[in-house]
Amino acid sequence: MRRSRSSRRIVAPPEKPRVDVPSVDRMADEGFLIALSAVRMAVKNDIIIGALRDHIDYDPARYAATARDELGLLARQNEEYAERVGGMRKEVGKNRWGFDLTEDQRGDLAQYSLRLQVHKRLTLALDTEAADEDHVAHLVERAQREASEEIRDAVSTRLISLAIDPREAEYAERRADRLDMFLLVDLALLKASHAESNPGHSDY
């Protein structure tokens, strides 16, 4: 007996997996935190180079200027990205009503709109951060603490590498080198400790 056409089982096509798109606020907040981390790392590296290579005194104003420059640089980059994404968005959405857009083009249009908002938010947030003296000072203080920790770690590693055995033939010569290193270590640690206890008046 033939099965009627109406009794055949209709199989629905599989649904596309749903992808949750992060909100503009979340993406902007995460991007801002990443930017602050990058700026803090740049300031920290500047402090370490100034202390160990250039032997210059620690100057909070100098490193605050470095932080503001880095924040401004990232703000301008996001400003450029916003302009570029805005142009791409206009190019895709030339048809005012969107009747001729494919599904992929509509997806691109939504992504460009999202990215445009995020870059604009980041530009504003970074410029605002750079203009806030208290926030910049706090960023520099954190960078200073991290720099001091790295200096201590580097010093400890260096001392371990200088460990010597009194029975070695070159003990006396290497002992003199080790004493010289101890003097440099003491000076570096003293500067690091003083910088932490007096962030505004240290001589790193």
The alpha carbon of residue 125 and the mean position of all alpha carbons in its chain are separated, in whole angstroms, by 15
Q: What's the CA gap between 57 and 201, in Å, rounded?
A: 10
15 three-class SS = coil
Q: How many residues does the chain have?
A: 204
pLDDT for res 109 = 78
pTM for the structure as a whole: 0.67
3-state secondary structure (DSSP) of residue 59: coil
Q: What CA–CA distances, in Å, run from 82 to 69, 126, 171? A: 20, 14, 64
pLDDT score of 204: 32
> pLDDT of the chain along its 204 residues, tens only?
555 555 556 555 555 555 566 788 999 999 999 999 999 999 999 998 887 777 777 889 999 999 999 999 999 999 999 999 888 888 777 765 556 767 777 777 778 888 999 999 999 999 999 999 999 999 999 999 999 888 887 766 665 555 555 555 554 555 555 555 555 555 555 555 555 555 544 433
Residue located via tokens 């302009």: 83
Q: Give all strands (DSSP E) within the chain, no chain letters.
A: none
Whether the Cβ atoms of residue 157 and residue 99 lie closer than 8 Å to each other: no
pLDDT for 170 equals 57
Q: What residue spans of the chain are helical by DSSP H?
A: 24-52, 60-92, 103-131, 133-161, 171-197
**Which pLDDT value is given to residue 143?**
95
What DSSP state is assigned to residue 21? Answer: P
